[in-house]
Amino acid sequence: MKLPQPPLDCISRVRFSASNSRQRLLASSWDAHVRLYDVDAQRLIGLHKQPLPILDCAFAQDTAKCFLAGLQRTIDLYDFEVQRETRIGQHSEAIKCVEWHDQTRQVFTASWDRELRAWDVRQPKTATAVVDLGAKAFSMDVGKDRVIVGGSDRCVQVFDPRMLASPLERRESSLKHQIRCVKVGPDQQCFASGSVEGRVAMEYFDQEENQQSRFGFKCHRVREAGAEEKIYPVNTIAFHPVHGTFATGGSDGGVCVWDGSAKKRLWKLNPFHTAVSSLDFSADGSMLAIGVSYSFDEGERMPPPVPELVVRPITDCEVMPKARQQDARSEMA
């Protein structure tokens, strides 16, 4: 289903709330707005505008508040119920990524100023920790006990959210081209990264396990009859919260779901009319939010493709690993 009143420019992020009782969805955009949707009712219930494009957003503790970051260089907390914005802090350049870490009640921001910062919303304006990344931040994610940042130097840095002073590890990516997205797996043992060269790498935090089990694969490539294969960037990755399989979205307009343990694709959607810029599964895994908007990989297009915000219902059989599907069939037989 398509949600009404979608963003008018590139969709930078879609995020489901952590609550299963109320299916709320955030969408930030280069049109400088953040939108809040009631997915069950299929309607827009909140809208807030900032002076400059918003590059990322994240829910706070509840479904009425969210953190906003972008070209304004500030990290702000917005409350949709009372329509009030509170300044938490700022960077010297645009903030590319923002993540709320529930375990430590901290907000993490990663910026093009080459810094990772931590913030306590109870004591705004001053960062509780500042780390020099040595490269522009392109993507960030958090797990229960890790913060990972993928940068312009093709490295992924891993941090302990409780002791942010220096990274636990700085690892050069196995991908040979620019990293566009990183995502921690729901088991907290692995992470996936995607590159502009149509590849995904699966790596493990444990060094020994990483050497044995890490792998990479090609995706989001299109070969038409009589033409060379066209390679598209992997813009976004989302893990299923229950089954651990994951979805990728690319500039080819495609969405694919993968079984990492079997190293196989489970299924793919018919391509959308333009790129897929952001994906997110709902907390219970029953829905997949898809941000469809042009990613400017081929320069300006006039008129630009119209953005869409799509929510697709997901069944267990679509995202269950192949081994479990076989076990289930054996039990039924």
Q: Answer whether residue 198 is part of any domain.
A: yes
Task: Report the relative pairing of strands 115-119 and 215-218 from DSSP bridges.
Answer: unpaired
Give residue-wise pLDDT tens across range 78-131.
999 999 999 999 999 999 999 999 999 999 999 999 999 999 999 998 999 999
Number of domains in the chain: 1
Give residue-wise pLDDT tens across range 223-245.
877 778 999 999 999 999 999 99
pLDDT of res. 276: 98
User: Quick one: which H or E segment has residue 230?
Assistant: strand 230-231
pLDDT of res. 225: 72
Amino acid at 126: T
Average the pLDDT over 301-327 and give the result: 87
Give residue-wise pLDDT tens across range 11-22.
999 999 997 767
Higher pLDDT, 70 or 62: 70
pLDDT of res. 332: 44
Average the pLDDT over 192-201 and give the result: 97
pLDDT of 256 higher than 90 = yes
Q: Answer whether residue 2 is part of any domain.
A: no
| Cβ atoms 26, 12 nearer than 8 A | no
Distance CA 172, CA 156 (A): 6
Domain residues for 171? 11-332
Q: Answer whether residue 3 is part of any domain.
A: no
Distance CA 55, CA 236 (A): 14
pLDDT of 333 higher than 60 = no
Q: What is the band of 326 on the pLDDT scale with cuts at 50, 70, 90?
A: low
Q: Answer whether residue 1 is part of any domain.
A: no
pLDDT of 158 higher than 90 = yes
Give residue-wise pLDDT tens across range 29-40.
999 999 999 999
CATH number, residue 295? 2.130.10.10
pLDDT of res. 208: 86
Q: Answer whether residue 107 is part of any domain.
A: yes
pTM, rounded to two decimals: 0.94
Q: Answer whether residue 5 is part of any domain.
A: no
